[in-house]
Amino acid sequence: MGISVTKLLIVLGIALLLFGTKRLKNAGSDIGAAIKNFRSAIKDGESDREENEPDSTIEGKVADRKNEE
């Protein structure tokens, strides 16, 4: 029940008839640019998170409970 090559060619042919080659070319380049921007935004977000993460070590004094009571 998968998509065969002939079905893909029929869909591509219908898309070419409806939109034309120029519009499909522009849509393809727009999608490619969007994916590129998305990947770079994810990479920037990961590097920002790594820079802003605090150290896992917590420094401070431990109070003695016997002295508090």
pTM for this structure?
A: 0.49
Q: How many residues does the chain have?
A: 69
DSSP one-letter string for the chain? ----HHHHHHHHHHHHHHHHHHHHHHHHHHHHHHHHHHHHHHHHHHHHHHHHPPPS----PPPPHHHH-
Q: What is the pLDDT of residue 55?
A: 59
Q: What is the pLDDT of residues 12-51, one digit of tens each?
A: 899 899 989 888 889 889 999 999 999 999 888 877 766 6
Q: Among 6-10, 15-19, 20-24, 60-64, which stretch is predicted with the lowest mean pLDDT?
A: 60-64
Confidence at 6, pLDDT banded by 50, 70, 90? very high
Neighbours of 19 (CB within 10 A): 13
